[in-house]
């Protein structure tokens, strides 16, 4: 494989300026962030789950990257053989906006062979498999469950002109997908006492209530920023409007006659509806740019009940009664407001999302106040 033009040009500049074209790094001094030197030996034994194989000589400039990685069970990771050059340490005058180090594929990649996982050529179902590609690349596929020895050591042999056959090793931690647990609670309530009509006496009250609990019973990670939460929803809602009022008017029916209860109005109501819901729903949790939001679409509660109305007028003079009382069956849904579940992800506890909010709404015809609280915890 040919070296990329930029790397070749900078290497030429290093030689022309008296610098060294083959960097020598001791330990991690002068390496780019997150890059550590691999170690090597001649004809090493099977590598163990550590960044270092047997021996202490550093392989000059050649890296198997990433040196350390994390991959979920069943997922894949691409590893690359690269040559890294530290131009700043060589004292080279670099053009503006040029990085002080560069890691790119090198001719060593053509000598790569014997890709292994924990010393097993090609790996296996227990520790994961490794499949060589082109240009010094290989794809590691994690096993279906975490291996007993974790992290695993992915290794490859290359030929170096100075050191001979060497083994490069990278550590790969196999992890279970992140899972979530926690609860979201919602409460809503509104109360209103009857306002008496002119001349009426009595009492009545209208009450609306609703409670909802959403418990996380599963999760499915779709991407680093999106996870589907499986929620068990359990809720109930009720509405009642009950009371009675009456108005009495005493008058005489004819001249010089006695005063009697001439007009008697009676109005009453016994209206009650209630319902429950139990369902399994899904909600998408987004985590990005230091914030989170949960798109929750719960099922509404269907309330069923009966509305009994008393509407009676008695005429004392005519000795008649007009009864317009009636009863009817009712049903309606207790609609939920849009839940604003969102907030910042705190660096001190990035795996815990907690918050609460409140607002006003309406349940059936009753004005209500609602409160919403949640605690969601990410576990592995």
In the chain the domains, ranked by start, together with CATH numbers, are: 5-175 (2.60.40.10), 179-379 (no CATH)
Q: Does residue 229 have a pLDDT over 50?
A: yes
Asked if 103 and 65 count as a contact pair (C-beta separation under 8 A), the reply is yes
Q: How far is CA 365 from CA 291, 361, 368, in A?
A: 36, 10, 9
Residue 373 predicted with pLDDT over 90: yes
Q: Which two structure tokens, joined as six digits, stand for 56?
A: 């202490």
pTM above 0.75, yes or no: no
Is pLDDT at 36 greater than 60 in this prediction? no
Residues in Cβ contact with 201 at an 8 Å cutoff, skipping those fewer than 6 apart? 245, 246, 247
Percent of the residues in the chain that have a pLDDT greater than 70, as a whole number? 79
How does pLDDT run across 148-204, given as a tens digit for each residue?
Answer: 999 999 999 988 767 778 899 999 999 988 889 999 999 999 999 999 989 999 999
- Please write the tens of the pLDDT for every residue from 239-250: 999 999 999 999
The answer on pLDDT for 23 being more than 70 is no
CA 82 to CA 323: how far, in whole Å?
94
C-alpha torsion sign, points 87, 89, 95, 99:
positive
Can you tell me the mean pLDDT for 330-356?
91
Instruction: Assess whether pLDDT exceeds 90 at residue 338.
Output: no
């Amino acid at each position: 494989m040919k070296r990329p033009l930029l790397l070749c040009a900078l290497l030429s500049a290093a030689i022309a300026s008296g610098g060294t074209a083959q960097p020598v790094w001791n330990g991690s001094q002068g390496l780019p962030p997150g890059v550590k030197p691999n170690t090597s030996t001649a004809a090493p034994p099977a590598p163990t789950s550590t960044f270092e194989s047997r021996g202490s000589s550093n392989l000059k400039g050649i890296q198997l990257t990433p040196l350390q990685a994390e991959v979920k069970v069943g997922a894949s990771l691409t590893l690359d053989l690269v040559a890294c050059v530290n131009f700043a340490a060589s004292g080279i005058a670099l053009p503006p906006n040029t990085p002080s180090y560069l890691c790119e594929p090198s001719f060593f990649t053509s000598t790569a062979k014997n890709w292994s996982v924990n010393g097993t050529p090609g790996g296996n179902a227990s520790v994961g498999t490794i499949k060589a590609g082109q240009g010094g690349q290989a794809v590691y596929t994690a096993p279906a469950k975490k291996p007993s020895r974790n992290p695993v050591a992915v290794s490859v042999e290359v030929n170096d002109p100075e050191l001979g056959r060497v083994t490069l090793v990278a550590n790969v931690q196999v992890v279970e997908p992140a899972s979530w647990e926690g609860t979201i609670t919602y409460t809503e309530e509104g109360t209103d006492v009857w306002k008496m009509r002119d001349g009426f006496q009595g009492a009545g009250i209208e009450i609306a209530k609703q409670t909802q609990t959403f418990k996380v019973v599963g999760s499915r990670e779709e991407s680093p920023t999106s996870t589907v939460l499986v929620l068990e929803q359990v809720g109930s809602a009720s509405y009642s409007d009950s009371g009675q009022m009456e108005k009495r008017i005493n008058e005489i029916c004819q001249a010089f006659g006695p005063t009697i209860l001439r007009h008697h109005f009676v109005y009453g109501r016994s209206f009650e509806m209630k319902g429950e819901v139990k369902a399994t729903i899904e909600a998408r949790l987004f985590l990005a740019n230091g914030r989170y939001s949960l798109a929750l679409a719960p099922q509404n509660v269907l309330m069923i009940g009966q509305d009994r109305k008393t509407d009676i007028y008695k005429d004392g003079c005519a000795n008649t009664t007009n009864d317009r009382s009636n009863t009817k069956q009712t049903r309606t849904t207790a609609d939920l407001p849009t839940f604003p579940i969102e907030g910042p992800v705190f660096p001190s506890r990035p795996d815990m999302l907690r918050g609460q909010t409140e607002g006003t709404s309406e349940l059936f015809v009753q004005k209500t106040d609602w409160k919403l609280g949640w605690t969601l915890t990410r576990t592995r």
